[in-house]
Amino acid sequence: MKQWGDEIILATAVFWADRVEWDEDGRVCHIRDGIGPDEYKQRLTDNTYTNYMARNNLRLAVQIAERLEKEDPEYLEELNNRWEICEMLPKIRRAAEGIYLPPVGKDGILPQFAGYGKLQEMDLSYYKSFGKNAAAEMRKEHRSEDIPCKNRQPPPCCCSCSRNSRKKPVGHSAGRYGRKTTSFMKNTRSMKHPTALPPIP
């Protein structure tokens, strides 16, 4: 913990102590304009996951600062020179106790963020019909591609296997693949097809 952990926790606690916004009465602080794990919900106030994690970070930072003050004051002074830990410690304590935590709902589940229960339920009928129509269009398009066409040429194989050796190269100079495909297939026919992979050492 001394090498990296203590400093990371203390430095992030300094960030949260500066990041929170206090009510006018100064009793409760909030984390506004944030994004929680559900990134589709943006610019939130008091995301439950974020606020709980921030409170744990702040509380742990207070414990670490108190421990270092007793056991390793020199290291605490070193961290203080970088992050102003001693000056921010009162703010860290205050934020740890005053940060708002959304309460458990009547169903026994924590809301995603403050005010989540006031959201209107989405009407998914449009999206369900859209999904069915999109799937039907994709199936229709897929069936149209399966219609045989005498002018359509198969794509070239990546090697000179027997499948390509029995077929004539694409002869259309301005076709789907053009001259490059013709020369590619001619060149690959002159290459030897490996019959077996080399043994693994």
Q: What is the DSSP string of 13-75?
A: HHHHHHH-EE-TTSS-EE-EEE--S-TTS-SEESBHHHHHHHHHHHHHHHHHHHHHHHH-HHH
Structure tokens at 6: 């203590």
Which region holds residue 41: left if phi is over 0, alpha if psi is between -120 and 50, else beta? Answer: beta
- pLDDT for res 138: 66
Q: Is there a catalytic annotation at residue 39? A: yes
Cα–Cα distance, 54 to 50 (Å, whole number) = 6
Indicate whether 44 pLDDT > 90: yes
Indicate whether 170 pLDDT > 90: no
For residues 48 and 178, the model is more confident at 48
Structure tokens at 36: 């929680």
Helix, strand, coil % in the chain, rounded to nearest 5: 50, 5, 40
pLDDT in tens, 133-162: 766 766 666 565 555 554 555 555 555 444
Tell me what the mean pLDDT of segment 52-72 comes to: 97
What distance separates the 2 farthest-apart alpha carbons in the chain?
Answer: 86
Sign, CA dihedral 121-126-128-134, equals: negative
pLDDT in tens, 105-139: 888 999 999 988 788 887 777 767 766 676 676 66
117 φ/ψ angles, rounded to the nearest 5 degrees: -70, -15
Tell me what the mean pLDDT of segment 13-33 comes to: 97
Closest C-alpha to 96, from 123, 125, 56, 65: 56
Which listed residue (24, 39, 74, 145) is catalytic? 39
